[in-house]
Amino acid sequence: MENEKLLMTPGPTMLPPSVLEVMRRQIIHHRTKEFEETLNSLANNLKTIFQTKNSVMTFASSGTGVMESAIVNLFSPGDKVLSVSIGNFGDRFAQIAEAFQLDVVKLKYEWGQAAKVSDIKDILQKAGSENIKGILITHNETSTGVTNDIKAVAELTKNTDILLVVDAISSLGGLELKMDEWGIDCVVTGSQKALMAPPGLGFSALSDKAWAACDKSTMPKFYWDYKKYKKGLDGTGENPPFTPAITTMQAQAVALKLILEEGIENVYGRHKKLALATQAGIQSLGLELLANQENSSYIITAVKAPNGIDISKVIKTLNQKFNIMITGGQKELKGKIFRIGHCGFVSGPDLIKTFSALEMALSQEGYIFESGISLKAVQNQLKN
């Protein structure tokens, strides 16, 4: 009598029933009026969620693919970029840039910390604004549960020629990100996190400044070529240029409608409330957040493993006994933290259920606390 697994993971995230329903529909052809409705709906609603006037491109791709798309369209080999990394996915962006022979200046932080805007400012000033062509930065670092202050970084770049390229894969649709207003030049994201669709779609949007930069890029490209997509969106080429992931796009269109029905501000508010409730629950158990509370993500909460407890066993108990999936640390944080995702299609009751299971699993491993204390703390926060 097993329930479906509750994923409290950083992605993929749970799919709403109406998203699942559209997935089971017989395939339709992509060069049809019927699919044009999906394309139009996606086009409009993606603009709203990206908070941009420009078109958002949809790729059949993982998140890593659209990160690559940004590099190969905006830059040329040898271009100097500043990579700001606070964890695994920040490092990945730098690795992609290096693979494509960019000259990567690395600003790295201890895992669990947020980037300091003053550090970025110093580097830009020392380099001179002519020198650094772009900044690569993660909005929400999934590996550490830390959010960077993108608005403040954009203040440094928006009246310069520097391109601000933001990996918003785990944040877009869950955390506020005002692309045009803040002055971000490129935002990339994926379908499988706050956007509540299955994995398999990557999205990218550009500022006018970034579109102009595409004209100067000498990097070889074909599949990721933004200009091919632009032609499709302008009506001067096929839209999209290649056979799209039809069903996943239909699912994404439904999921975006759900987000807009709830209201994007309400969705942000729900993510914040769930995050604060998670923090309260964690602290009531005497556990410690990995990040400072002011940088701790509203998407995923990273928690230090308590001394003397084998955290992998706790995670395993949640998974096997309670059918709830949370995750451990990646790379250098392996065995040292656990992470509770609260992103996308997640509700207060899901969180209560997770803390109930967490209490039982921690208790089983010998961790001492007052039974039910975290449920009370979570509940109190959810009431606010």
Which stretches of the chain bind its own copies, using CB under 8 A?
4-5, 7, 9, 11-15, 20-21, 23-30, 32, 60-65, 68, 77, 95-96, 99-101, 190, 192, 198-200, 220-223, 225, 241-248, 325
Token representation of residue 130: 């002519």
Specify the DSSP class assigned to residue 294: G
Q: Which CB atom, from 292 or from 347, has the smaller least distance to its own copies?
A: 347
**Please, what is the minimum distance in Å from the beta carbon of residue 354 to its own copies?**
15
Q: Which CB atom, from 155 or from 350, has the smaller least distance to its own copies?
A: 350
CB atoms within 10 A of CB 369: 15
**Please, what is the minimum distance in Å from the beta carbon of residue 345 to its own copies?**
10
Residue with tokens 């995670």: 315
- Rounded to whole angstroms, the Cα distance separating 239 from 246 reads 12
- The answer for residues whose C-beta is within 8 angstroms of residue 369's C-beta and 6 or more apart is 285, 286, 359, 362, 363
What separation, in Å, do the N-terminal and C-terminal C-alpha atoms of the chain show? Answer: 35
**CA-based nearest residue to 364, from 304, 324, 311, 301:** 311
Token representation of residue 21: 């329903």
**Please, what is the minimum distance in Å from the beta carbon of residue 121 to its own copies?**
29
**Please, what is the minimum distance in Å from the beta carbon of residue 100 to its own copies?**
5
Q: Which CB atom, from 14 or from 117, has the smaller least distance to its own copies?
A: 14
Given a contact cutoff of 8 angstroms between Cβ atoms, the answer to whether 350 and 322 are in contact is no
**Please, what is the minimum distance in Å from the beta carbon of residue 180 to its own copies?**
28
**CA-based nearest residue to 120, from 153, 95, 90:** 153
**Please, what is the minimum distance in Å from the beta carbon of residue 20 to its own copies?**
5
Q: Which CB atom, from 177 or from 201, has the smaller least distance to its own copies?
A: 201
- Rounded to whole angstroms, the Cα distance separating 271 from 277 reads 10
- Rounded to whole angstroms, the Cα distance separating 125 from 90 reads 22
**Please, what is the minimum distance in Å from the beta carbon of residue 369 to its own copies?**
28
- Rounded to whole angstroms, the Cα distance separating 175 from 62 reads 20
Q: Is 141 helix (H, G, I), strand (E, B) or coil?
A: strand
Q: Which CB atom, from 9 or from 374, has the smaller least distance to its own copies?
A: 9
**Please, what is the minimum distance in Å from the beta carbon of residue 265 to its own copies?**
26
Q: Which CB atom, from 25 or from 313, has the smaller least distance to its own copies?
A: 25
Q: Amino acid identity, residue 105?
A: V
Q: Which CB atom, from 246 or from 258, has the smaller least distance to its own copies?
A: 246
**CA-based nearest residue to 287, from 302, 274, 306, 310:** 306
Q: Which CB atom, from 247 or from 381, has the smaller least distance to its own copies?
A: 247
CB atoms within 10 A of CB 324: 24
